[in-house]
Amino acid sequence: MAAFDSVNATFLQWLAANGAIVSKDISLQDYSAEGAGRGVVAVADINKDHELFSIPRSLLLSPETSALSQKMDLSSLQGWNPLMMCLIYEYGKGTESKWRPYFDILPEEFSTPMFWSEKDLMELTGTGVVDKIGKNEAESIFKDNLWPLIRAHPHLFPGQDEAYFLRIFHRMGSLIMAYAFHTEDEADDEDEDDEDEEAEPKVNVSMVPMADMLNHKTGHNNARLFHEKECLRMVSIKPIKSGQQIYNTYGDLCNADLLRKYGFVDMPNPFNIAEISGESLVEKCTAQEPSGKDEKVEFLLENDGLEDFFIVEADGEIPEELVGCAKILMMPLDEFKSTVLEGKKLPSTKLTAEVQKVLRELLESRLAAYTSDSKEDRAFLKQTPPEASRNKRNAVIVRSGEREILQSVLDKVKKWRPPPPPAANGKQKGNVKGQPPNKGKKPYHKK
């Protein structure tokens, strides 16, 4: 506790000494008992539109502010990599770095699946997280792009071996993923009359001390960061009562993305989705009749009809684009050529009995990919306290959310019946099986 308080105090003094203004109505608070690390709490009732803090742009840590940009050419690097190099450089400078009190308040360990054991990762089998962790891809970027630069500048990155820098790279990568902000360059007033009025603001990735101390809770967002010319200001967007936590929003994210990027999940989470891989759809639809598979896949890819993943939203509706794609994949080759390729006529996105069968099988095998069923998961969540097996618990929450959505689509797929064919005289005579519409139904009032 003493260490926690002293790190906070040094950080807040550093902010003030460098021109940041922090409202006396807020404080840093320890939420680690809830698995949420530090957060920001209101220590007085706060009105809407109250400035919680303002951070001068000079305190942001980015390639624009780090001296590394003057010492070496970072222009060959893409995406997050220039910021990554600056973080590795500034961290390596230790007490010499302007941002040392900031590094001291940032975590060294993360609960994201990137750092999970094999056993915990098994719990994510079947979820949308597994294929997107990207540890190997990240390590390739380090080896191919960053390590050669680091090794070539030993005076800037002194005295350590590749394994050490790889460890730092993973820490900084996790910090960028969970803490960095896209910071817009506020247009200069003088530029406002330029012909280029329509130009998009330039977006950079920066670390924003203090703004990144706010946690997220789906549906509870009560503060927002405003990007101004000289500073970034965090402002309340609702009245906040003393003692309440102040939340920024990390976006409308499903639990799989919250877990992968930030290492936690939210329950309930209306932004949950489930994914069905395009590859599994292609395999299922072309298993019986593979002729023309490549041509159809090529056509669909060229026309944005085949996704890596089809998204099923929380409402569990059958995605129309999935149905349309399945119809093309299952079409006889000559029909595909004459109507779709030559006639440029796409099939409707209405369900058919053929697509129903394929979707049913696809969803059933998708659901069977999880390592447990909903009963086991419910029992685990009920019996296990949140602080025990946090990784497993988070995995169970992710898969339960996905499973619920997939199950609801599957129920809809199973329930679907083909519409009755129109009768010759235009009147509907019965359902598809030729029975009168009410046969088998219980009468409304039992006499």
Ligand X SMILES: C[S@@+](CC[C@H](N)C(=O)[O-])C[C@H]1O[C@@H](n2cnc3c(N)ncnc32)[C@H](O)[C@@H]1O
Label the pairing between strands 38-42 and 26-30.
antiparallel
Q: Which is nearer to ligand X, 28 or 340 (CB)?
A: 28
Q: Does 7 bind ligand X (CB under 6 A)?
A: no
Q: Is residue 318 a contact partner of residue 413, using CB atoms and an 8 Å limit?
A: yes
Q: Does 319 bind ligand X (CB under 6 A)?
A: no
Tell me the CA distances in angstroms from 355 to 281, 352, 358, 374, 404, one per residue in order.
11, 5, 5, 26, 22
- For residue 206, the cross-strand partners are 181
Q: Which is nearer to ligand X, 181 or 370 (CB)?
A: 181
Size of the site for ligand X (CB under 6 A): 16
Burial of 87 (0-12, 13-18, 19+ CB in 10 A): buried
Distance of closest approach, residue 10 Cβ to ligand X, in angstroms: 15
Distance of closest approach, residue 257 Cβ to ligand X, in angstroms: 12
Q: Which of 8, 81, 215, 222 binds ligand X (CB under 6 A)?
A: 215
Q: What residues contact residue 129 under an 8 Å CB cut-off, 6+ apart?
A: 113, 256, 259, 260, 395, 398
Distance CA 144, CA 140 (A): 6
Q: Which is nearer to ligand X, 38 or 93 (CB)?
A: 38
Q: Does 209 bind ligand X (CB under 6 A)?
A: no
Q: Which is nearer to ligand X, 148 or 386 (CB)?
A: 386
Q: Which of 14, 103, 165, 262 binds ligand X (CB under 6 A)?
A: 262
Both tokens of 18, joined, read 């460098």
Q: Which of 11, 142, 169, 264 binds ligand X (CB under 6 A)?
A: 264
The beta strands (E) that lie in 92-230 are given as: 181-184, 203-206, 223-227
- What DSSP letter does each residue of 285-330 carry, written as one string? HHSS--TTHHHHHHHHHHTT---SEEEE-TT-PPPHHHHHHHHHHH
Q: Is residue 174 a contact partner of residue 89, using CB atoms and an 8 Å limit?
A: no
Distance of closest approach, residue 211 Cβ to ligand X, in angstroms: 8
Q: Among residue numbers 325 through 384, which ones bind ligand X (CB under 6 A)?
A: none
Q: Does 213 bind ligand X (CB under 6 A)?
A: yes
Q: Is residue 42 a contact partner of residue 244, using CB atoms and an 8 Å limit?
A: yes
Distance of closest approach, residue 446 Cβ to ligand X, in angstroms: 52
Q: Which is nearer to ligand X, 132 or 429 (CB)?
A: 132
Q: Does 263 bind ligand X (CB under 6 A)?
A: yes
Interface mask toward ligand X for 19-38; x: CB under 6 A: ----------------xxxx
Distance of closest approach, residue 213 Cβ to ligand X, in angstroms: 5
Q: Which is nearer to ligand X, 74 or 381 (CB)?
A: 381
- For residue 30, the cross-strand partners are 38
Q: Which is nearer to ligand X, 26 or 355 (CB)?
A: 26
H or E element at residue 280: helix 278-286
Q: Does 216 bind ligand X (CB under 6 A)?
A: yes
Q: Among residue numbers 173 through 192, which ones bind ligand X (CB under 6 A)?
A: 178-179
Q: Does 403 bind ligand X (CB under 6 A)?
A: no
Is the backbone of residue 300 left (phi > 0), alpha (psi -120 to 50) or beta? Answer: alpha
Q: Which of 19, 56, 107, 319 binds ligand X (CB under 6 A)?
A: 107
Q: Which is nearer to ligand X, 123 or 212 (CB)?
A: 212
Distance of closest approach, residue 178 Cβ to ligand X, in angstroms: 4
Q: Does 281 bind ligand X (CB under 6 A)?
A: no
Mutual orientation of helices 293-302 and 278-286 as an angle, nearest 10°? 150
Q: Among 120, 436, 101, 126, which residue's Cα sits nearest to residue 280?
A: 126
Burial of 68 (0-12, 13-18, 19+ CB in 10 A): buried
Distance of closest approach, residue 94 Cβ to ligand X, in angstroms: 20
Q: What residues contact residue 189 under an 8 Å CB cut-off, 6+ apart?
A: 229
Stretch binding ligand X (CB under 6 A), from 11-19, 210-218, 332-340, 431-439: 210-218
Q: What residues contact residue 195 under an 8 Å CB cut-off, 6+ apart?
A: none
Q: Which of 217, 337, 360, 390 binds ligand X (CB under 6 A)?
A: 217
Q: Is residue 362 a contact partner of residue 283, using CB atoms and an 8 Å limit?
A: no
Distance of closest approach, residue 171 Cβ to ligand X, in angstroms: 13
Q: Does 227 bind ligand X (CB under 6 A)?
A: no
Distance of closest approach, residue 105 Cβ to ligand X, in angstroms: 7
Q: Does 39 bind ligand X (CB under 6 A)?
A: yes
**CA end-to-end span of the chain:** 74
Stretch binding ligand X (CB under 6 A), from 92-100, 257-265, 363-371, 438-446: 257-265
Q: Which residues bind ligand X (CB under 6 A)?
A: 35-39, 107, 178-179, 212-213, 215-217, 262-264
